[in-house]
Amino acid sequence: MALRSDSHPALSALDGVAANTSDALLLIGRIMLGLIFVRSGFGKMLDIGAFAAGLPARGVPMFFGYIAAPVEFFGGLALILGFATRYFAVLLFVFTVVATLTSHRYWEFTDAAMRRIQDGNFYKNVSILGGFVLLFVAGGGRFGLDGWLRPRA
């Protein structure tokens, strides 16, 4: 993947490093981003009924649990493998927005410690959303199923 240099010449020392390592760094980034979803989704899949039963208390219909847990787990796995990367980045972006707005409503907590914990989780998820935007733009790179399955000209 050719990486365009957007830096001022005085600040462009790392442009070549980024261009020469972009596929490997995209692989590392996909693994790091996907891992949190695989781990969390796997736990929910192990007891999907209990996960789904807890959703109505957050204002989410129970049946969404049977959609959300597989999306979280298999979406994270797809990112790690680099399969349909842009599509799963969009799907997990939407998942993360919904999860953030239903589960990390820090402004509703009066207990300072719980508010701080949920505040951290809220902004962690905002950062993850940024990662999905970048992954959507960059794609999965050469070291993933997308790259291996791409027709060669």
pLDDT tens for 96-112 read 999 999 988 888 888 99
Tally of domains within the chain: 1
- For 20-71, what is each residue's pLDDT tens digit? 999 999 999 999 999 999 999 999 999 999 999 999 999 899 999 999 999 9
CB contact at 8 A, 118 and 23: no
State the Cα–Cα distance between residues 125 and 120, nearest whole angstrom.
9
Provide, rounded to the nearest whole percent, the portion of the chain with pLDDT above 70.
Answer: 95
Q: Is residue 16 part of a domain?
A: no
Question: Considering only CA atoms, which of 27, 32, 25 is closest in space to residue 148?
Answer: 27
Q: Is residue 62 part of a domain?
A: yes
Q: Is residue 13 part of a domain?
A: no
Q: Is residue 17 part of a domain?
A: no
CB contact at 8 A, 100 and 125: yes
Question: In terms of residue numbers, what domain contains 31?
Answer: 25-149
Quick one: pLDDT band at residue 16, thresholds 50, 70, 90?
Answer: confident
The pTM is what?
Answer: 0.88
